[in-house]
A and B are shown apart, each in its own frame.
Chain A
């Protein structure tokens, strides 16, 4: 019996533990980000000189920092930054990866060789080092940190897209398209691209955890978000200065970060099980 692929997807997704768990975790983060104004009891930059470095208590669930700012509120607002990182960083990698990968896989030749060489170049220096260098040049703020990480990470996505394109290029339906007189552009984006969409979704969701972690690390090192931004990396690095007096300052933001990264990892694994046909046939 015929069942629409979307319906089938929803049915099997209900049975996939990883996917559901990841989705629930992700939705909880999304809710925090959207309703931050309602959920957070204080503003993220509202200092209270009377309550500096308060231990976690009833009024301040996670305590306060050196300026008397409520840590819980700051963490809640921090979800917005992290989701922004995931959204922008993921999109840049996706667009670059898809366009470059499609062009290289479809046309081959000199463009392809040049791209492989470029990929070799980025692989020659560890990503963190390269990202640090890029951020130095384009300036230290959150958007630039996101761009730097994306510039370092896109190559692996392009490689996968390239490989998939090359294997699809010789299939019969492409020849049919050629016979219909379709242009190269149309063949690439209307014939090949839809066929790699499931793989793309999986790739992006697998790339997000490391994107978030690397960008937060840049903020931690002081070359990403700048104070008073409630970026979790920045908060942990501020917390280190007060590590003996107020360890909670460094603990809670990190915990929030791990929760977020974990939610994307689990969601990614679930999506892979659901969408990767190779895995599906095995299971």
Chain B
């Protein structure tokens, strides 16, 4: 318990530091959002007026403290300069879209990659393993935006099985999710393989064989269970990275998620929206990492003891 609290506190410190870093970076930015709001050729007085109205003329620390207070106490992320709407209203409806895509992608990706990785480990140095490893090396060299484009060309242009873009029916999900799954598949597969190989080298595997267990029993009961530990942890840790991966995919398939919003906000220099999105993503990263740590303790008694033992 103490461990969890400690991790949480550290996480909060990290999130605050990141948000301050991003805040000050955006504060120092040359292109001011004021000009964006006032439009081209606005008078100097008008610019100053807007600056005062939104409190942009105050010092950095005051602005940041004000922002942090608004966020934590009133759930107020400020106003989008571009859309003239509260940022939260913009972001709120996009969170579930991105989360849904990410979770489905993660589930499919691990469901495919883990068995493949295990198979590679069991059949190490066979043709199957070699072929899988070469394929995975090629796949890690393909950027996700190009995978998406190829999928579009193959299944939306050449054969019109799925729609090109948009987001309403289940058919709209297929291509983005496939792109998401494919772009992370190779890495997960390689990780599973190396993890399973590590387990196979352990002494208890030798013991299991020595006491006459069948091949399949050893594989399912010992190897699979023990390599799943790291993989479960990996699932949690990879969620934030998947979300950031979806920035690209969401832009290509014109999906109304967080990623698409992030890109347009960055191009429009819409401070508050960018700040809010980065804040949310860093919170998610911290939470996922804490969950991953807890999961690790839950699944692996050895680690639980070393954590529970605390400072010894």
Contact = CB atoms under 8 A, between A and B. Distances in A.
Nearest to A259: B141
A120 interface: yes
B162 to A, nearest CB: 13
A223 B281 contact: no
Which of B28, B158, B262, B266 counts the most chain A CB atoms within 10 A?
A: B266
B150 A251 contact: yes
B68 interface: no
Given A126-B243, A240-B252, A251-B150, A133 B281 contact: no
Interface stretch (B17-25, B45-53, B204-212): B17-25
B247 A124 contact: no
B247 A132 contact: yes
A63 interface: no
Interface string B269-291: 10000100110011001100000
B251 A243 contact: no
Contacts of B25: 133-134, 137
A121 interface: yes
Nearest to A233: B145
A92 to B, nearest CB: 18
A239 B148 CA distance: 13
A136 B262 contact: no
A129 B278 contact: yes
A238 to B, nearest CB: 11
B146 interface: yes
B252 A213 contact: no
Given A129-B247, A221-B248, A136 B153 contact: no
Contacts of A196: none
Interface string A239-251: 1100110010011
B157 interface: yes
B153 A251 contact: yes
B240 interface: yes
A217 interface: yes
A237 B256 CA distance: 19
A76 B269 CA distance: 34
Contact of A132 (B164, B240, B266): B266
B152 interface: yes
Contact of A124 (B18, B140, B149, B277): B18
Nearest to B248: A217
A95 B82 CA distance: 39
Interface string B24-58: 01101110000000000000000000000000000
Nearest to A140: B267
Which of B18, B144, B248 counts the most chain A CB atoms within 10 A?
A: B18
Interface in A103-135: 120-121, 124-129, 132-135
A73 B142 CA distance: 22
Contact of B153 (A128, A132, A247): A247
A74 B142 CA distance: 20
A262 interface: yes
Contacts of A236: 145-146, 149
A14 to B, nearest CB: 22
B251 to A, nearest CB: 7
Interface string B231-261: 0000000001101110110011000000000
Interface in B62-99: none
A257 B138 CA distance: 12
Contact of A136 (B26, B143, B247, B252): B26
Interface string A215-247: 011001111000000000100110110011001
Given A236-B146, A262-B141, A125 B28 contact: no
Contacts of A266: 137
Contacts of B18: 121, 124-125
Given A133-B278, A216-B143, 15 more contacts: A120-B14, A125-B285, A132-B263, A133-B22, A135-B266, A137-B29, A217-B145, A233-B143, A236-B149, A240-B149, A254-B150, A257-B146, A258-B142, A261-B143, A262-B141
Which 6 pairs across A and B sit closest by C-beta, in order of nearness?
A126-B244, A254-B146, A261-B141, A262-B141, A128-B244, A247-B153
